[in-house]
């Protein structure tokens, strides 16, 4: 590895730590509102999926429909990540890195995860209820489309959901790394789109966006059972945490501070960072 590539890698790691520290130090009220916003905003992806699925019935082949659905799925992620709202699966990697570097505590991490996770789910549930009502009333999304999307996520044993959730969390962790490497908003949006499309095409369970898909099916009359939703939520969440924390957070950080690299060299200060900007 060349000195230039090492420097570039460690610069990305510094940005990850700086961003993670900024979020760990944010007031709970700011995290709550930002997390609620993210839960609402990301819902546009699953809603557009239902619209596309309704419109494409009998028009496009299954592969073409799948590609269109994956691109619709990506819209919500672009809204959230580029819009700087707080998404739980981003922080399974982002907020872990400063803790690994000794600049954040497990208590701070637990507070951040808990507040954002609950806020994301509340926002997502509100959006799911509105999406089903509005979509059906406007005729842009049929009840069958909402149910089909949700059924695809709850149709598997818990072990499959867990393992697939690990892959989804892994991809989300990579997304935070790529976004940190992006030099401008356009490049960051492209990275988010690539990762979200990959998750959508592979039907991997994302604990927040996927929960909205399943909840839309729950809100449909004679739809998905609450017990099915809860099973999906538990195992997809555990999988996402494992994937983001271990396969990205620990590995990327471990590579950045491998033997011969002083941890203090990548310590950063959050004074003057964008805490105030995200309130």
Burial 179-198 (b: 16+ CB within 10 A, else e): bbbbeeeeebbebbbebbbb
pLDDT tens for residues 165-181? 999 999 999 999 999 99
pLDDT tens for residues 87-104? 999 999 999 999 999 999
**pLDDT value at residue 64:** 96
> What average pLDDT score do residues 183-202 get?
95
Instruction: Indicate whether 155 pLDDT > 50.
Output: yes
pLDDT tens for residues 23-46? 999 999 999 999 999 999 999 999
Q: Which among 51, 35, 31, 81 is positioned nearest to 190, based on CA atoms?
A: 81
Sign of CA dihedral 194, 200, 202, 207: positive
**What DSSP line would sit under 69-114, residue for residue?**
HHHHHHHHHHHHHHTT---HHHHTTTTHHHHHTTSS-HHHHHHHHH
CB atoms within 10 A of CB 277: 8
Q: How far is residue 232's CA from residue 60's CA, in Å, rounded to a whole number?
A: 29
Instruction: Indicate whether 278 pLDDT > 50.
Output: no
Q: How far is residue 233's CA from residue 249's CA, in Å, rounded to a whole number?
A: 22
Banded pLDDT at 8 (limits 50, 70, 90) = confident
């Amino acid at each position: 590895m060349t000195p230039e590539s090492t420097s570039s890698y460690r610069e990305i790691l510094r940005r990850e730590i700086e961003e993670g520290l900024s979020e760990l130090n944010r007031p709970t009220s700011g995290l709550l509102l930002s997390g609620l916003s993210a839960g609402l905003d990301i819902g546009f992806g699953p809603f557009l999926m239902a619209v596309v699925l309704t419109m494409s019935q009998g028009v496009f082949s299954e592969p073409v429909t799948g590609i269109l659905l994956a691109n619709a799925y990506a819209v919500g992620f672009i809204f959230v990540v580029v819009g700087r709202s707080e998404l739980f699966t981003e922080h399974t990697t982002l907020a872990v890195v400063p803790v690994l570097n000794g600049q954040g505590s497990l208590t701070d991490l637990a507070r951040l995860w808990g507040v954002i996770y609950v806020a994301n789910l509340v926002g997502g549930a509100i959006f799911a209820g509105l999406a089903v009502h509005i979509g059906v009333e406007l005729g842009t999304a049929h009840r069958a489309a909402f149910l089909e999307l949700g059924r695809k996520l709850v149709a598997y044993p818990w072990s499959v959901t867990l393992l697939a959730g690990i892959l989804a969390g892994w991809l989300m962790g990579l997304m935070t790394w790529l976004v940190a490497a992006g030099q401008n908003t356009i490049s960051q949006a492209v990275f988010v789109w690539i990762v979200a499309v990959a998750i959508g095409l592979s039907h991997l369970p994302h604990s927040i966006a996927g929960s909205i898909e399943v909840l839309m099916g729950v809100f449909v009359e004679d739809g998905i059972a609450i017990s099915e939703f809860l099973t999906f939520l538990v195992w997809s969440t555990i999988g996402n945490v494992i994937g983001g924390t271990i396969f990205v957070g620990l590995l990327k950080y471990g590579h950045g501070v491998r033997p011969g690299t002083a941890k203090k060299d990548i310590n950063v200060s959050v004074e003057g960072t964008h805490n105030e900007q995200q309130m």
